Amino acid sequence: MRLRIATTTFLVAGILLMIGWPFIVGPAPRRDAPRSVQVAWGKRALAYFGVTSTVWLVTAACALGVIRQRRREIVEEQRRNLRELVEGSLRDHDGS
């Protein structure tokens, strides 16, 4: 359950980060802007892109964890169902 909550939280955070790009990073400076302004914007954009990318990678890792967890649950359920089927068949044959 915690893994699903983490996945959902990172998914929402990733979407919000993508929506917030123009507001947080701001518009790119003009070509004739001072070099220091362009470098500052570039650093800010690169850092923001790095954070956004990291959030999406963590989201993917959490989603894989959820898939693996669910897969284990399904395999265990299949084993349980097969065991019940075999035991039920044995009981049916013993009773005849």
Q: Could you write out the three-class secondary structure of 64-81? A: HHHHHHHHHHHHHHHHHH
Give 10-29 pLDDT, tens digit per residue: 999 999 999 999 999 999 99
Give 28-86 pLDDT, tens digit per residue: 999 999 999 999 999 999 999 999 999 999 999 999 999 999 999 999 999 999 999 99
Confidence of residue 91 (pLDDT cuts 50, 70, 90): confident
Per-residue confidence (pLDDT) for residue 80, from 0 to 100: 95
Write down the pTM of the prediction.
0.78
Q: Report how far apart, in Å, the C-alpha atoms of 13 and of each of 1, 7, 64, 74 are.
A: 18, 10, 18, 30
Per-residue confidence (pLDDT) for residue 96, from 0 to 100: 59
